[in-house]
Amino acid sequence: MNIRVRLTLLFALLVASIMLVFSFSVYYLYNQYREQEFRKRLRDKALTTVRLFEDVGGITEELLHDISRNDLTTMYKEEITVYDAHNQVVYDSGEEPYHINANFLNQVRQGKDVSLREGDKEIVGVRYIDQKKQVLVVVAYAIDKYGISILERLRTILITGWAVSLLMVVLAGWLFSSDALRPVSDIIEQVKNISARNIHERLKIGRQNDELAQLAATFNDLLSRLEDAFSSQKSFVSHASHELRTPLAIMMGQLEVSLFQKRTIDEYQETIKETIEEVKKMRDLVNGLLELARLNDEVSQNHFSELRVDDLLWQTRDILIHHCPDYDVQIKFEEFPEEEALLQIKGDSALLQTAFLNLMENGCKYSPDHHVSLTLRAQEDHIRISFSDRGVGISDTDLPHIFEPFYRANSTQYVKGYGVGLALTRRIIELHNGRIWVFSQMGLGSQFVVTIPF
């Protein structure tokens, strides 16, 4: 069952239930009013008859005929019976008295106006005290033929009206649901036409302020993120292919040249050394790509452990100095915390060491004096680490892109690298719920600021 049919049925069921309750209420209330009004007429007729009976000392058949002919309030099959204190009939307007049980008469004699219904006949009992202080019971009964006829007519009208209205409600519900779901159908058709070839297209938003417009806007945001992901992937593959092709081309050229003619052992050794250097470059690039791909698959935080940031920084510095003795890394504290717990964070030591090593190495590599200065400060809810160098700096044009894979600033083209390190570093910091910023000015150097929460 699709949404349109479901909405139509639910709408029809709801409105039909409301109309049914309304119709039943109208019928019930009118029936109550009819009974009350008819019994009031019976009571008035009973009192009028007993007073006339008392005034004239009896009602003859001729007098009763004249009264019935001139009385506009005479009801269908109307009968009036008067009982004395011994429950004996002293007057009856019909041919045969209608049998009333003693319990009914006793209740009326006690001062209660009693009414009941037997079939179509309405019965009313009224107590009356005559001039001789005798307690009489007057019982009037008749059939409300006119009221019942109207009630039946009303019932027919309500049932017919309810059935016709139900059909109209179903039709209106179908049209209403069609109009309400038309934007959904439009969204479905538009989404069907979007693929990887035209992922730049966006859904058209019709009504600007309803939930369907919000749904379309959410789809557009999703498409924007997917487009960015496709573009990033395309750029990633393109740059990776280019970076891998260069050393492969160099190695192939060197080896082919070596095969053109016989060479000395020293020349072969030189070719092998150059080829090994290119292989090392490829290894470093592939390792960086694999690490970046692994981090993009969301490394779990379950194996994070307590780490002291200062110890980790010193260990990373020692590793860098061991491989590059001419690099100079200075670590200092702005304010050394009194509690050692303010230097501890939860994280992966290997990943954080990779991120810190990239920042230290970049600072030294791009500085003429190969010097980078680290400043560590423990704040309220995080640790702040700044990496400052005195390098060539990064232009305002390059700053928004330096964390993109394989992107390299124009001012750093002369230095060996692949543009993977900063992308990898930012991903590692984000996995630790941290943030990284960069501040730079051409000719004055750069400062990378990392914050990691406790």
Q: Where does the pLDDT of residue 70 fall: very low under 50, low under 70, confident under 90, or very high at 90 and above?
A: very low
pLDDT digit string, tens, across residues 1-16 = 677 788 888 888 898 9
Percent residues over pLDDT 90 in the chain: 16
What is the structure's pLDDT at 263? 80
pLDDT digit string, tens, across residues 163-207 = 999 899 888 888 887 777 777 777 778 888 887 777 778 877 766
pLDDT digit string, tens, across residues 119-136 = 888 888 888 888 778 888
Domains along the chain with CATH numbers: 3-152 (3.30.450.20), 211-296 (1.10.287.130), 305-453 (3.30.565.10)
Q: Where does the pLDDT of residue 59 fall: very low under 50, low under 70, confident under 90, or very high at 90 and above?
A: very low
Q: Which amino acid is at 1?
A: M
Q: Cα–Cα distance between 191 and 194 in angstroms, integer?
A: 5
Which H or E run includes 70? helix 61-70
Q: Is the pLDDT reported for residue 410 higher than 70? A: no
Inter-CA distances, 189 with 183, 185, 194, 203, 243, Å: 10, 6, 9, 10, 41
Residue 189 tokens read as 């058709």
Closest to 391 (Cα-Cα) out of 409, 369, 375? 369
Q: Cα–Cα distance between 54 and 43 in angstroms, integer?
A: 17
Q: What is the mean pLDDT of the chain?
A: 81
Q: Is the pLDDT reported for residue 97 higher than 70? A: no
Describe the crossing of helices 211-260 and 145-192 by its angle, rounded to 10 degrees. Answer: 20
- The DSSP string of 332-367 is EEEE--SSGGGGEEEE-HHHHHHHHHHHHHHHHHTS
Please state whether the predicted TM-score (pTM) of the whole model is above 0.85.
no
358, 422 in Cβ contact below 8 A? yes
Q: Cα–Cα distance between 64 and 237 in angstroms, integer?
A: 114
Please state the three-class secondary structure of 71-106 as a single string. CCCCCEEEEEEEECCCCCEEEECCCCCCCCCHHHHH
Q: Are strands 328-335 and 371-378 parallel, antiparallel or unpaired?
A: parallel
Provide the b/e sequence for 327-349 (b: ≥16 CB within 10 Å): bbbebeeeeeeeeeebbbbebbe
Closest to 363 (Cα-Cα) out of 438, 270, 268? 438
Q: Where does the pLDDT of residue 385 fall: very low under 50, low under 70, confident under 90, or very high at 90 and above?
A: very high
> In degrees rounded to 5, what are phi and psi of residue 452?
-130, 125
Inter-CA distances, 59 with 53, 54, 232, Å: 6, 9, 112
Average pLDDT over residues 343-368: 87
Least confident of 317-321, 370-374, 379-383: 379-383
Q: Cα–Cα distance between 168 and 154 in angstroms, integer?
A: 21
Burial of 45 (0-12, 13-18, 19+ CB in 10 A): buried
pLDDT digit string, tens, across residues 219-244 = 888 888 887 777 766 666 665 665 66
Closest to 137 (Cα-Cα) out of 152, 127, 147, 148? 127
